[in-house]
Amino acid sequence: MALRHAVLGALLDDELSGYELAKIFAVGVANFWHAAPQQLYAELARLESAGLVAGQEVVQRGRPNKRVFTVTEAGLGELAAFAAAAPKPLLIRDELIVKVHTVDFLDTATVVAQLHERAREAGARLALFEKMLVRLRGDLDEESFLREGRRIGPYLSGLAGCRFQREMREWCLHTARTLAGRAPDRPA
Amino acid sequence: MALRHAVLGALLDDELSGYELAKIFAVGVANFWHAAPQQLYAELARLESAGLVAGQEVVQRGRPNKRVFTVTEAGLGELAAFAAAAPKPLLIRDELIVKVHTVDFLDTATVVAQLHERAREAGARLALFEKMLVRLRGDLDEESFLREGRRIGPYLSGLAGCRFQREMREWCLHTARTLAGRAPDRPA
DNA sequence: ATAGGCATGTAAGCAGTTACATGATTTA
DNA sequence: TAAATCATGTAACTGCTTACATGCCTAT
């Protein structure tokens, strides 16, 4: 159960409500941990009753009240224990690559369209991550920030996001070009 | 339930037993679909009773007999239907990146060691994928193979694997260097 | 002799997804 | 007035993981 650690990690810098957390996790690859909103509400409840986060009601006008959560001392301890343990292997599941793998038996046009769509998404996420990095490093250049910055964890994970999305976009475009450039499989 | 499509995809080129499939999926990122052995035995049973694969007993000497599976016509139809549908978004879960995200609150040395270990793994997988690509394209160069080859799906998905593992390795090494080069967080 | 690989499964439990439910406010 | 956003949850189901179970053969 490592969702809890992803949630704790997301709450380190900001107090967030379940709804706000859900938006961050919806971007999904953001923290390299995908999770559905319902999981987050459930996990926050569990974390709170375990004393790893503390919730506080925020009264709002014009919109429903919300409960925001902070990591407690015990929560930090939980993170430390998590870091000490051997990490589970990376888990990845991608239907699109499965389709490409089997593409010689399929209608190529559909897969090409899906590759373009994925490339577009990857580009959008790349832009988001790059904007985030600029925000995090402020007026320092990257090198100085990584040498002297106080909080570099989110920057380093953001760099992973950029790399990943950039490669994803390029692979999709290259693959789409390759498939589109071959003998068409649907007769006119 | 898209595990079934990953399994069908893996069975397109070779007849495989549950055990052999498990080894392929254990490499995990191989087909970009992680799955545990027990899932595969269960899924093969389901696919067989649905008529999407056909199993055949292979008698062996010196080792236990096995049942190998082939994709049926109905199985190919299932794959075509799968390809036509919108792909589910990429799913990724990586404990190591979560640790890096929270690294400013943790013992750095442990995380650095885990980054080196991951870099090593990524390098090993990269080598495997590259060997596979050479085998697939035979005596053609990549460009010609992608233009003229009959079965390019596995090659294209293999290219994704190479890109991904290469980026993973470089990000791990860069991140480890960055963390190790900062002021030590454990007093002598 | 013992460890590791080949080979297939069952059963129990936990994690994750999908559908349902509610209701106010703002924007188009 | 309809749709989107904010906000939080429950319930049912499906998918995934872990532990258990068995047994033969080969290599060290």
User: Phi then psi for A86, rounded to 5 degrees?
Assistant: -60, 135
Which tops the pLDDT comparison, A62 or A39?
A: A39
Nearest chain B residue to A29 by CA distance is: B92
- Chain B: give the shortest CA distance to residue A141, in Å: 14
Query: What is the torsion angle, in degrees rounded to the nearest 10, for the CA atoms of residue B19, residue B21, residue B23 and residue B27?
Result: -160
Q: For A113-167, write each residue's pLDDT tens digit.
A: 999 999 999 999 999 999 999 999 999 999 999 999 999 999 999 999 999 999 9
Q: Confirm whether any atom of chain D, the nucleic acid strand, is less than 7 Å from CB of A20.
A: yes
Q: Which of A2, A153, A171 comes nearest B104 by C-beta? A: A153
| Beta-carbon contacts below 8 Å between A and B | 217
Q: For B161-184, write each residue's pLDDT tens digit.
A: 999 999 999 999 999 999 999 977
Q: What is the DSSP string of B51-77?
A: TSEEEEEE--SSS--EEEEEE-HHHHH
- Chain B: give the shortest CA distance to residue A29, in Å: 7
Chain B interface, mutation test: which of A157, A159, A166, A178, most B Cβ atoms within 10 Å? A157
Look at B92 and A97 and tell me if their CB atoms are within 8 Å: no
Q: Confirm whether any atom of chain D, the nucleic acid strand, is less than 7 Å from CB of B67.
A: no
Quick check: B11 and B71 in contact, CB under 8 A? yes
Look at B2 and A95 and tell me if their CB atoms are within 8 Å: yes
Look at B157 and A9 and tell me if their CB atoms are within 8 Å: no
Q: Which of A92, A147, A150 comes nearest B92 by C-beta? A: A92
Q: Where are the domains of chain A?
A: 3-84, 95-180
Nucleotides of C under 7 A from a protein CB: 5-11, 14-19, 23-26
Q: Which of A80, A90, A171 comes nearest B94 by C-beta? A: A90
What confidence category does residue A185 fall into, taking pLDDT thresholds of 50, 70 and 90? low
* Chain A residues lying within 8 Å of B152, measured CB to CB: 103-104, 178
Determine the pLDDT at residue B183.
Answer: 72
Q: For B65-87, write each residue's pLDDT tens digit.
A: 999 999 999 999 999 999 999 99
Determine the pLDDT at residue A188.
Answer: 42
Taking only Cα atoms into account, the Rg of chain B, rounded to an integer number of angstroms, comes to 21
- Assign a CATH topology to domain B3-84: Arc Repressor Mutant, subunit A (1.10.10)
Q: Is the pLDDT of residue B187 over 60?
A: no
Determine the pLDDT at residue A31.
Answer: 73
State how far the Cα of B176 lies from the Cα of B103, in Å rounded to an integer. 11
Where do the H-state alpha helices sit in chain B? 3-10, 18-27, 37-49, 73-84, 95-101, 108-137, 142-148, 153-180
Lowest mean pLDDT among A33-37, A168-172, B31-35, B98-102: B31-35
**Pairing, β B16-17 against β A91-93:** unpaired
Q: Confirm whether any atom of chain D, the nucleic acid strand, is less than 7 Å from CB of A64.
A: yes
Q: Is the pLDDT of residue B90 over 50?
A: yes
Determine the pLDDT at residue A187.
Answer: 42
Look at A32 and B170 and tell me if their CB atoms are within 8 Å: no
* Chain B residues lying within 8 Å of A82, measured CB to CB: 95, 99
Q: Which residue is nearest to nucleotide D5 (CA to C1')?
A: A63
Distances in Å between the Cα of B131 and the Cα atoms of A168, B124, B134, B154 are: 22, 11, 5, 13
Cross-sheet strand order for the sheet of B16-17 = B16-17, B66-71, B53-58
Note the CA–C1' distance, B157 to D15, in angstroms: 25
* Chain B residues lying within 8 Å of A88, measured CB to CB: 95
DSSP three-state, residue A68: strand
Please give the share of chain B, as a percent, with pLDDT higher than 90.
90
Q: Which nucleotide is nearest to B17 (CA to C1')?
A: C7
* Chain B residues lying within 8 Å of A145, measured CB to CB: none
* Chain A residues lying within 8 Å of B33, measured CB to CB: 92-94, 97-98
* Chain A residues lying within 8 Å of B83, measured CB to CB: 99, 102-103, 106-107, 110-111
Determine the pLDDT at residue A145.
Answer: 98
Determine the pLDDT at residue A62.
Answer: 83
Q: What is the mean pLDDT of residues A23-52?
A: 90
State how far the Cα of A20 lies from the Cα of A179, in Å rounded to an integer. 40
| Torsion sign over Cα B46, B47, B50, B53 | negative
Determine the pLDDT at residue B113.
Answer: 97
